[in-house]
Structure 1
Amino acid sequence: MAAQKEPVLDIIVVGAGFAGLYLLYRLRTLGFQTLVIEAADGVGGTWYWNRYPGARCDVESMAYSYSFSESLEQDWVWTERYAAQPEILAYANHVTDRFGLRKDIRFNTSVVRAVFSETDGLWTLASDEGL
């Protein structure tokens, strides 16, 4: 049986919240082979985990939106000035699907070890799923 090859990646992003999704989008446009590792089974970070009644953003929805794509700004219409958690999570999923980000996100995976090599200038990661 052939040995399993390690994925050839330039960058691993930990977390598929708003920052992680943007990093994946941006790093791809710059030509980097990128993988996002996410502990949850969906995107959204804070907005995935915090689903309590009344959860909403205290920043106006338009200011909370991504501004890297004019067409994205045109095809998403917020229903409230200060969006509630379900709508923010729906927006995160919309962005993920619109830009095909989901294929480079490994869900239900947690980093269990990260070791930096001073010699190589590289991180070696281990996950609970064998990465």
Structure 2
Amino acid sequence: MLSRKITFRVRYAETDQMGVVYHGNYAQYLEMGRIAWLRSFGLSYREMEENGIMLPVIQLQLNFKKSALFDDELTLETSLKELPTVRIAFGYSLTNQHQEIVATGSTDLVFMDVNRKRPMRCPEYILKKLR
């Protein structure tokens, strides 16, 4: 479906003593991809929060294929799996500078009304931008 790519370099602080990216950092990479994906459609996570909408992660899945190393140039492709309802689901593919797959994954997030502290349907203005 709708996908966007970002490219970034692995920083030294993201690695362990062997120069391998620590597994916990991959969740942050996926977040970078989601925020850039939203931004590419003129959607701002900050504005959503200011309007009382949060998107907590309710599911995260990762499959590690190859180690990412310090100073690798990584490309993360973030794809929308389907038009959102109460949930929004993303798929990810992370490759290195040699076009080798480093990891694949997915996340599910839920639209949450901050004031009511309850799930809500995806706002219509977001759906319009995605159609």
With the length of structure 2 as denominator, give the TM-score of the two structures. 0.28
With the length of structure 1 as denominator, give the TM-score of the two structures. 0.28
> By percentage of residues, which structure has more strand?
2
Instruction: Give 1 or 2 for the bigger CA radius of gyration.
Output: 1
